[in-house]
Amino acid sequence: MDGRLQVFAGSSHPQLAREMMGQLEAPLGRAVVGTWRNGETRVKLEENVRGSDVFAIQAMSDPVNHHLMELLLIIDALRRASAARITAVIPYFAYAKQEKKTSGREPISAKLVANLLTTAGADRILTMDLHSPAIEGFFDIPVDHLRAAPILARHINRQVLKDLAIVSPDAGGVARAEELRGRTGGSLAIISKRHPGPDVSEALEMVGDVCGKPAVIVDDMISTGGTLALAAELLQERGASPIYAAATHGIFAQEGLQLIHRSPLDKVLVTDTLPLPDGAPTDKVEVVSVAPLLAEAITRIHKDLSISALFT
């Protein structure tokens, strides 16, 4: 790209946007992002972006639909203002768990969100740890899919835990747990789990020895905290100690943080792709910043350099 680099942000996660701009050593683009009195979302760019290589930062945090609409309007405003290229930087991509039909007469919501972003005018997507990597295929534009495993592994290794057990909370997360285990060492354990209903989990059995070992439960996101609490209870019964959890996205919906606070978990490690909820107990939560990683990815995209080097 010959155009100058400019970065704008929605209202979903201003702290992460500021930290990213600190890494980039550049000011955040000036824009009005708010709500009209009638409840409609308002966006107005206050800088010239003609011919620029522009990045729009927006995590799809709660309220998800409001922040999604903000992002769509920011992208549309950039396109109509003649930006040369528009990259949507989405640290947390919402609706990713709705990437397929689980029964008849259901939408494929993740595909619809992908279509909306493309139709609004995004030229490429930069995101982190999609719940289903297959969502990349929903886009007909380039997707740079970053992983948090290297960052989480570095922080786990700093705990100097010996004979570590890396635990997948379900069969679908084995590859994710195995990737982390390859970076931290130790053994692998798998919990067999079924879902009686939406956002409801029931732990059944575990494969692997965790007795007398420090255990780390690995997942891509923590939503209600129910899965983690059940897994931690099972690990405690099997003699694991201490019990940690590591996840990329800390959604902590409803009473998620309270449930984790009451659980046998000793520490929960999450990245700052999403802001922590206000007013909830966070004494067990340790947040790792992904701002340097996202800022480096923006620099590499702008300079047409490889993103693959960031996965090591």
Q: Which residues are catalytic?
A: 193
Report pLDDT for 199. Answer: 65
Report pLDDT for 162. Answer: 83
pTM of the model: 0.94
The whole-chain average pLDDT of the chain stands at: 94
pLDDT in tens, the chain (312 residues): 457 999 999 999 999 999 999 999 999 999 999 999 999 999 999 999 999 999 999 999 999 999 999 999 999 999 999 999 999 999 999 999 999 998 899 999 999 999 999 999 999 999 999 999 999 999 999 999 999 999 999 999 998 788 999 999 988 899 999 999 999 999 999 998 666 666 666 657 899 999 999 999 999 999 999 989 999 999 999 999 999 999 999 999 989 999 999 999 999 999 999 999 998 889 999 999 999 999 999 999 999 999 988 876
What does the domain layout of the chain look like in residue ranges? Answer: 5-147+291-311, 149-288
Domain 149-288 belongs to what topology? Rossmann fold (3.40.50)
Report pLDDT for 1. Answer: 47
Strand bridging mode 124-128 / 143-146: parallel
Render pLDDT for 65-76 as a digit per residue (tens, 0 to 9).
999 999 999 999
Q: Hey, do 5-147+291-311 and 149-288 end up sharing a CATH topology, with the first three levels equal? A: yes
Report pLDDT for 196. Answer: 66
- Does the structural domain 5-147+291-311 have CATH classification 3.90.1150.10? no
